[in-house]
Amino acid sequence: MKNSTFFPFEKNKYFYGKLLSVDDFNLEQKYISDKRRMSNLFLYGAGIVAGMQVVHVDDTTISVEMGFALDSLGREIVIEAPVIRNLSSVDGFKTIEGAESGYTYLCVEYDEVEQDKVYNIAGNIGLAQGTDAVAYNKVRESYHLYLTNLEPQRECLSQEELYLEYTTVYFQSGIHIKQVVPKYIQAGEKFEIKLLVETTQIDYLSFSYQLALTCLNFQKTQLIDVVFDEMLHEKTGSYMITYEAEAVSASGIDGVAAVVPESFKVFLGRKPIDAWSEAKSTVHIIKNNPKDEVLNQYYREAMENQLKNSSNEPLYLAKIYLMKAGDSYMIDHILNVPFQQYVMNHVLGSALNQMLQKDFDKLSDCKQTASGESSQKEKREDREKVLVTEGSCKLKLGIEGQKGKRFFSKEIIHGLGLGRVTIVLGLETGEKEIIYGERDVFEADEPDVLLAAKLNQDKGSFIIGAKLVSTTTLTEIKVHWTAVLHQKEETVQVFEKKIFIKPSVLELGMRESYYLEAAFQNIEDKAVKWKVINNGGTIESNGMYTAPNVPGVYEIIAESIAYPEVKASIFAVVREGFHSDRNGGD
């Protein structure tokens, strides 16, 4: 029904012997329809529920897909099949001819069409004077598509109008400047003043003006010099400028950001254009949390606002950008639902809540809390885990080691995997004597040598270098090395799911095999999937790993089949000529 008011609610009272008229049946329909519409409006709001996407078919043709929506009066709009229309055949096309905006909006609104003509046996009683005795038996609920250059009177008809205030600073000649501020801000808090700039002009746009602040501060002043030059940006036609302002510490007052009219200047291609603006935005400075104020304001004023805004406002399906070619227009591109007029149903809301809950759970798992308190909440504490490997190598000095000569070892794999480790070097000076650090501290015989290690983090290896401080008669020196890895191991409460691989470090020769074991924490399903990275050998489903015939450091990963996000990995160090004494090899 096309009536725009819900009240008062009146319904028929039936009794035996009551004579029913056309008005009685119309009243019955109106009562049921108005009740449903009011529920739609206050429980769900206005907007697109599903579908109604606008598709760019060719230069002059669009297709509106099937869909369902609720209008600003709670009436259902249904497009039951895709509609293909030439842009010039859509109502309102003449309004864009001669317009300089460079775009137009495609809107849809509720409509009714009378159909099924029948002869009225009562003649023309109840019909307009001079009409034939013909009436329509049915009214089909339909929709009306049309084009317009006007924007919605109530910003977006969406949730944003509850907490944001949009103010048009300038809208002419394809240039649109809007100012966005929050409706409510807590006293003394900082907030953002956003300027949204859109232009369809080929020439570069620039503008400047002063924004006078009342009960608001910007960098300890009450004036913002707004300056924009499109030449300083990549030309996209859409831009956003942000200024951080601060509310005064007093509450219960309004903060105002007003354009100083005489300062407003607009330029296209460096040429000034005639422009004027007296726009101002208002921010309510409050004592309480803005979220609470939004809720209180809605519950307090929603009914009154609906009665004030009882006129029908369209739904904006798309913003269609146009290119003018002579006397005709061609479609450049299409932006669907430019004002985000959507209705969130319970199914979609529930799905999003579940996704948000999962994200929240992940953040909670990553959050570390202080240790030392015993409670049933999840706790984590960092504990240093030190892994150490050691070895020795001999450096050949030749027949006579001359002072200043340098000598280097072959590449040594330290066995602690990839990444950063600490290498400590010691020089063997006797059968059971090794000197670490500065040799000059101790009175010792030759050799007098400086030692250093060069670490390759990507390969998990290092090279030892030696420089003779004085000439020596020795033909070789023996260097002992120790590699130290400091790991931060997380100790978690028993509720966290984890996998551990035994052993934590694996060292074996080429083509050797070793059985790896996966240990589980808080996982009942013990099934695990094994894999080796970068052709680092093979591993069977039971954990039997066989090293490749190329020495190196290779990563082995164990992944829970029941919980794919739970993984563990170790590094296998494969050495040439090395034979493992571990149990489990073949």
Q: Do domains 155-308 and 493-575 have the same CATH topology?
A: yes
Mean pLDDT of the chain: 84
Give the domain ranges of the chain.
44-145+318-336, 155-308, 382-487, 493-575
Percent of the chain exceeding pLDDT 70 equals: 88
The pLDDT, as a whole number, for residue 385 is: 64
Q: What is the pLDDT of residues 497-507, one digit of tens each?
A: 888 888 887 88
pLDDT (average), residues 27-36 = 92
Task: Supply the pLDDT for residue 371.
Answer: 40
pLDDT of residue 488: 56
Q: Range with the lowest mean pLDDT among 141-145, 319-323, 440-444?
A: 440-444
Section 78-88 average pLDDT: 95
Give me the pLDDT at residue 19, please.
93
Residue 278: its pLDDT value, please? Answer: 94
pLDDT at 276 over 80: yes
Please tell me which of 23-32, 301-310, 351-360 the model is most confident about, judged by mean pLDDT.
23-32
Determine the average pLDDT of the residues in 282-301: 91
| Cα(37)–Cα(402) distance, integer angstroms | 99
Distance of CA 407 to the CA centre of its chain: 55
Per-residue pLDDT, 134: 75
pLDDT above 70 for 155: no
**Residue 158: what pLDDT?**
66
Distances, alpha carbon 12 to alpha carbons 1, 6, 19, 27, 228, in Å = 18, 16, 12, 7, 63
Of 335 and 420, which is predicted with more confidence? 335
* DSSP of 390-417: EEEEEEE--SSB-TT-EEEPPPEE-SS-
pLDDT (0 to 100) of residue 128: 60
pLDDT at 418 over 60: yes
The residue whose two tokens read 């250093």 is 452
pLDDT score recorded for residue 414: 81
Assign 331 to helix, strand or coil.
Answer: strand
324 Cβ partners below 8 Å, 6+ apart?
330
- Using CA atoms, how far residue 330 sits from 49, 90, 504, in Å, is 30, 14, 66
Most confident stretch, 7-21, 131-145, 362-376, 570-584: 7-21
- Phi, psi angles (nearest 5°) of residue 97: -70, 125
Binned at pLDDT 50, 70 and 90, residue 126 comes out as low
The most confident of the ranges 44-48, 454-458, 571-575 is 44-48
Q: Are strands 47-51 and 190-199 parallel, antiparallel or unpaired?
A: unpaired
Which CATH number does the domain 155-308 belong to among 2.60.40.10, 3.60.20.10, 3.40.190.100, 3.60.130.10?
Answer: 2.60.40.10
For residue range 366-409, what is the model confidence (pLDDT) as tens digits?
654 444 444 444 444 444 567 888 888 888 887 767 888 888 88
Q: How far apart are CA 43 and CA 54, in angstroms?
A: 27
Higher pLDDT, 12 or 346: 12
Q: What is the mean pLDDT of residues 250-279?
A: 93
Which of the four pLDDT bands, split at 50, 70 and 90, describes residue 17? Answer: very high
At 226 the pLDDT is 95
pLDDT tens digits, residue range 181-218? Answer: 999 999 999 999 999 999 988 889 999 999 999 999 99
> How far is the CA of 456 from the CAs of 191, 403, 479, 549, 570, in angstroms?
49, 28, 19, 22, 19
The secondary element (H helix, E strand) that includes residue 24 is helix 22-43
Mean pLDDT (whole number) for 344-367: 78
pLDDT mean over 47-55: 95
**pLDDT at site 47:** 92
Query: pLDDT grade, residue 12 (50/70/90)?
Result: very high
Collapse the DSSP code of 252 into the 3-class scheme (helix H, G, I; strand E, B; otherwise coil) and give the result.
coil
What's domain 493-575's superfamily in CATH?
Immunoglobulins (2.60.40.10)
Convert the pLDDT of each residue in 427-474 to its tens digit: 888 777 888 877 777 766 667 888 899 988 877 889 999 888 888 878
